[in-house]
Structure 1
Amino acid sequence: MQLLRIGEAGAERPAVRVDETTFDLAPITSDIDGAFLADDGIARTRQALEAGELAPVESSGQRIGAPIARPGKIVCIGLNYSDHAAESGMDIPSEPVIFMKAPYTVVGPNDDVLIPRGSKKTDWEIELGVVIGKTGRYLDSPAAAMDVIAGYTISHDVSEREFQLERGGQWDKGKSCETFNPLGPWLVPAQEVPDAEKLDLRLWVNGELRQDGNSSNLIFGIGHVIWYLSQFMVLEPGDLVNTGTPAGVALGMAGQPYLKPGDVVELEIPGLGRQRQTLVPA
């Protein structure tokens, strides 16, 4: 079962995909958002499918939006793969590195990505995205943290490295440019991902494989990250947590081949789908 939103930007309709068939979720909810997740929306969707209460809809050729409506917040973990920390010339952190992205950065998985005005170092980062389904506040343990996860998706943490690292202040200014978080295509319920820490993450630029990692190499595992965050902030249904990127970003490559207009980036996590974006000037 894969939850998705289809239609033009700002007018997406909620749907669910099972075995290549897409069903209308309108009888269950008006959107896939925090309220839907908090109200056992995934369980209600499964029950409606089993009861044959959802009608098939044509999805071929339609735009796919982000699988959740604008999240309340996007919390990101930096330097969470040792190989990425090494290529960035930074020490492996003793605790998770936290930064935020603005919610408006979220776009569909195949939408264009805007290179910001004045950008010289727009970079790519494939990440496993975790969508929160229950309130997480001072969670007792990493094991308990797994219970607040609604599901998983592909998250593209696009970054402008000069803004992020050379212009002073926090990382956020290099992370929150518009369109800097393509998301999706689907939200796969946590119960249907057997082991989220054994997923391959791959990213190509213009057909050339640049990132080829596995979530088994996370420094801080998914449960630890969610537990840790809950000690400092309240995680709410619909929030998105980006868990970090493996090695292979432009920042760490010889010649630093940053993205330019016309470049095409493709991302894939088996079981979670595939994304494709074209870079265009803002």
Structure 2
Amino acid sequence: MTLSVYASDALAAAILAVGTDKFSEALHRWMGAACVFDNIAIIAFFQSCGPQVLMTHARDSRVFERIDSHYVKGAYMLDPFYGLHQKQAADGVHRLTEVAPDQFQRNEYFKSYYANTTLIDELAFFSRLSSSSSITVCIGRDATTGSRFSPKDYMTAQNIAPVVNALVKANWSGLTSETQSEPEDIVEHLRQRLSVDQSINLSPRQAQVALLILQGHSSISIGLTLGISPQTVKVLRKQLYRKCQISSQGELYYLVAPYLSEAG
């Protein structure tokens, strides 16, 4: 990895800022000297509660306009980068298009939330702090430049990823959630709330399928995830829609979204 004099100085400043309240901005400055991006968000994920936004910066105000009112309140559960936390992914950098479900851009989360951010492309530097916590440093391209990350940009991100992740771990190694509680099973939460509020009694498998549909998985992808055939998925999907008295993924989203917020 070859750094300019400015980038080297910025990296030194980030190292010296570890453990201080100036770290996030110092990390931002160094990464900005090494990569070209329009926005950055540093988000901590936990098993026992919703995420904690540690920093955001964007030239276009639309990018993070609803991060507190919608994303943190429950929409994050449908974010492919949150999936890295759930799967306990390896440290490194991940491109949104590589980790998103096959029908991510067709789902209601993308249409009603993500598209409004004007984000075009994202890279997430993922760092696992412990078995129950992780941090993603997401850099993005949005309407500001209107361009995606090039293969060269991605290679640069891969080259600096070990340093980004090392700095993140050094600064936030002791980070814990503000509220301590037992991890909640979102599938069981959905089943209980739909039963109590809507008199909709889903089986565990039907609730699993519902969540995967909302995340943007096709029947084939759901089948691979759950280890069942696509035909079985289609049967479960029909049963799900019939029980919920709906006919589209959009209707499913607006039925379930309030309960995602509760679980977050």
Q: TM-score range by the shorter chain?
A: under 0.3
TM (norm. structure 2) is 0.26
TM-score (structure 1 length as normaliser): 0.25
Higher-Rg member (1/2): 2
Structure number with greater CO (CA < 8 Å, separation at least 6) is 1
Between structures 1 and 2, the one with greater helix share: 2
